[in-house]
Chains A and B, each alone.
Chain A
Amino acid sequence: MLALHDVTLAYDDHVVVERLDLVAADREVLCVLGPSGCGKSTLLRAVAGLEPLRSGTIHLDGRDLSGLRPDQRQVGLMFQEHALFPHRSVADNVGFGPRVHGLDAEVVRERVSSALELVGLAGTEHRRVDQLSGGERQRVALARAVAPRPRLLMLDEPLGSLDRALQTRLLQELPEGFAELGTTVVYVTHDQDEALALADRVAVMRAGRIEQQGPPDRLWRAPRTRFVAGFLGLDQQLPVEVMGDTVHTPLGQLPRAEVRRAEAGAAAGDVADSGSPAATYAVLLPESIRLLAPAETARNNELVVTGTVRRRRFRGDHQQVSVELDDHTSSGETVTLNALALRDAGGPGTAVRLAIDPRGVHLLQPDERE
């Protein structure tokens, strides 16, 4: 188990990570998700002992890591862009860890071949690393990180430099590899698809702090802040006001009891319970917006709005339709919603109706950092 407690990291006077607590259970795959520059790579480097702690503690399997040099920590780190030793062969790269640990040449060879087998590159020992393709380099880097049998495997944007098709394939293969290794994995990425596909648990990081963490589906269903929602790709957000039993949106009113909010007892509800009106934001989850057929009537509780199709995007089995709503606001701002349509919605200019299901509308916590 990896446990970070109250960790602060800084470059000179610039604080990168601030008072952060984070735990990864045994055999858990923890994804740290955040935009570039949020401090996630620095966090990994600190766990590896490459950056000094300003304050706080890091424990791995109960052992305090502070004061240990990087070579004493028994962690594996796969670097961004892999950092393979360019002057060494595949076998020398993968065998570097076991070799510096003083293992016999025979054992080193076994470790190399089993690590290469794990990543599906058996038999490539004698190739030079500059002859490898991007995907092969990525695999060799993974093999090199696991060959010394670390207690913890950390990966820093491992799929960042690869093309789309390769990313997709590796996303399918990686979970099996992790399961086979049986170590705790901390995986850092800025790509929400990667995080949601791989993680047992996702920690969304922003400007040096964890903004929210939880299993991928919970995060997706119940993001707590605009930042988390936006980073997960939930970008249909509306400013709302909670007043008594009603949620006032620019599109109309929704019954508060039907609208979802963050985890039970979370602040979004609490604010409103104080009795005074509370301004915040709501997320419209994609399935909450439905394109109504011309004769179709809305279901109970659904909010119906009218608008005009502005754009259609073909997405294979469905279409994404951008609808500019007729004016529902006093401010005169136009609101555009994207709806998924399984059938033809008509070209740009078509007048349509949208039904919004309050059960797919999710109240966010007021953001104290904006």
Chain B
Amino acid sequence: MSLAARPAGTRRGPRRQRRLRRGLATAGLLALPVVFLGWFFAWPVTAIVWEGLAPAGELELGVLSRAVTDPAVRSVAWFTLWQAVLSTILTLLVALPGAYTLSRQRFRGRGFLQAAVTVPFVLPTVVVGSAFLALLGPRSPVNAALVGLLGDAAPTLDLRRTVTAILLAHVFFNYAVVVRTVGGLWSMLDPRLEDAARVLGASRWRAFREVTWPLLTPAIAASAAIVFLFTFTSFGVVLILGGPGRATIEVEIHRATTQLLDLPLASTLALLQLVAVLASLAVYGRLTRRAQVQQRLVASDTTRRRPHGRAERALLTTNLVVIIALVLSPLAVLVERSLITAEGYGLDNWRRLLTDDAATVLAVPAADAVRNSLLFGVSATLVALVVGTLAASAAALERGRLTGLVDRALMVPLGTSAVTVGFGFLIALDRPLDLRGSPLLVPLAQALIATPFVVRTLLPVLRSIDGRLREAAAVLGARPVRVWREVDLPIVGRALLVAAGFSFAIAVGEFGATVFVARANLPTMPVAIFRLLGRPGVANFGQAMAMSTLLAAITAAALLAIDRLRVGQIGRF
């Protein structure tokens, strides 16, 4: 009996020890991310919730009923919901054909267009707002063309402060999410499946409906959920393009805090938003899990075909027109408007922006805003990289039941509104250290927004590393840290660069949280643009356009640099 028991006992010992060691490693990796997320995310969010539930320091559950009964809250919630649903549907309608063209059709300039349509996704919302302000306002090229065609009798198209403008901007902004997510899968679907259906007698449409569509469903559901999340929590775009009665919860939180000084209202709204975000994340998780089909994927460059037949060519043309009209023209108009001065075209706006020290409305030289943005952006990137890498490494180690939970926990900040974060910083970060006046708050807030993107970029790559590589390194005598440095790091290196570029683009363009925590004398570029747009005068508008162009160029440069690396995670969910 003792003979039988001993081998089992000796075997169990090392295994338990190994599990313990792995648990310790996970805990060690997670320590910093947990402190970071706890201090700068959970604590402020808790403070908001507490503020909302107990405005006078004592729990008053009656406040909750305000969220349901207050007509102002209800109308904001209703507007937020329906514009998000409509934006999502519109984006899918416009972008799904685009996903086909960019992933399955072969034509000259495809690679460039694919990179170009991703630019809006990393554009700061403030820039998107000002681009559509320029495109849809009375002085837009559209109106100039109408006047040229019809003379003075031409109607003036002015879509500023309309829902149409918001919806268009949302489609522009999220086009890339659908194209990258759905197109990414579409380009790897085995084309022989559709061929097989055709040979078996299915028409083109039927083959699409019965074979391709069901196989794409996970990607379509995932991208729809993400677009919904982004448009539900839309801030900068709605703040600039919306008007009275056209405010999302995000915008209302901002207004309640900065204009109405009604903190309980802001808390109630933030609470409402948090619940909605968590609910849609749960739906997202369910949808993607349920629709998952195990299938063999093929290399994406083998599936692209030159369009033949009238229908294929018509589709290609339509999509090219959409991409040019919807995605490229706002950017072009932005640049054009930055060059318009009182005396026709010129570089006045740029000159004033970059050299004039005193005459701006910013109280500081505009060039300072550029410097602030870059400085904050780099610091935020470093913080997000450290925190995100640690969290992703821990999540990659964990392969048990917890995996899904860790995944979803890391998604939550992605859906949490930037405004909530900024607002939370203001009301919570006086303890344990009073950070509220500190310039550090800006990069910390930006890093918090960027971290989920870092994790989402790194985690799939880390999980894809063949475990046998690590085992081989370990058997050859490498200690765990060495294994990480010699095996994981080189493989993850490119993904790290992508994550860095992506975080930088997000941090530089971050507006929702920054606008709360940036000090008046340390504005970032998006904050400066927003202030410039708020002042009357052609010169201020022109400078806002010039600043937007510059900011767009910086984020687009970051994006194009990473796109070269071809890890291809940007905007893919």
Contacts and interface: CB of A to CB of B under 8 A. Distances in A.
Interface string B186-219: 0000101101111111111010001100110000
A50 B195 contact: yes
Contacts of A220: none
Given A52-B308, A86-B293, A87-B293, A77 B199 contact: yes
A148 B200 CA distance: 7
B295 interface: yes
A83 B195 contact: yes
A303 to B, nearest CB: 52
A130 interface: yes
B65 interface: no
A50 B198 contact: yes
B117 to A, nearest CB: 26
Given A81-B296, A130-B294, A87 B202 contact: no
Interface stretch (A93-101, A177-185, A308-316): A93-101
B295 A70 contact: no
A96 B293 contact: no
Given A50-B195, A83-B196, A71 B202 contact: yes
A73 B202 CA distance: 11
Contacts of B203: 69, 71, 100
A86 B215 contact: yes
A141 to B, nearest CB: 9
B201 A87 contact: no
B306 interface: yes
Contact of B195 (A12, A73, A79): A79
B195 A70 contact: yes
A101 B198 CA distance: 11
B196 A77 contact: yes
B294 A71 contact: no
B193 A85 contact: yes
Contacts of A86: 193, 215, 293-296
B195 A71 contact: no
Contacts of B210: 96, 100
Contacts of A71: 198-203
Given A50-B195, A85-B211, A144 B306 contact: no
Nearest to A71: B201
Contacts of A70: 195, 198-199
B479 to A, nearest CB: 40
Nearest to B197: A96
A48 interface: yes
Interface string B292-313: 0111100000000010100000
Contacts of B198: 48-50, 69-71
A97 B201 contact: yes
Interface residues of B, number: 24
Interface residues of A, number: 29
Nearest to A45: B195
Nearest to A72: B201
Interface string A93-111: 0001100110000000000
A76 to B, nearest CB: 7
Contact of A148 (B190, B201, B215, B294): B201
A100 B199 contact: no
Contact of B200 (A45, A69, A96): A96
A75 interface: yes
Nearest to B308: A52
Interface string A259-282: 000000000000000000000000
B200 A79 contact: no
Nearest to B193: A83
B395 to A, nearest CB: 27
B230 to A, nearest CB: 28
A83 B201 contact: no
Nearest to B203: A71
A42 to B, nearest CB: 12
A45 B192 CA distance: 10
Contacts of B201: 71, 74, 97, 100-101, 148
A80 B196 CA distance: 11
B215 A48 contact: no
Interface of B: 190, 192-193, 195-204, 206, 210-211, 214-215, 293-296, 306, 308
15 contacts: A48-B198, A49-B198, A50-B198, A71-B203, A79-B192, A79-B196, A83-B196, A85-B196, A85-B197, A86-B293, A87-B215, A100-B201, A100-B210, A144-B196, A145-B200
Shortest 4 CB-CB distances between A and B: which pairs? A97-B200, A70-B198, A83-B192, A86-B295
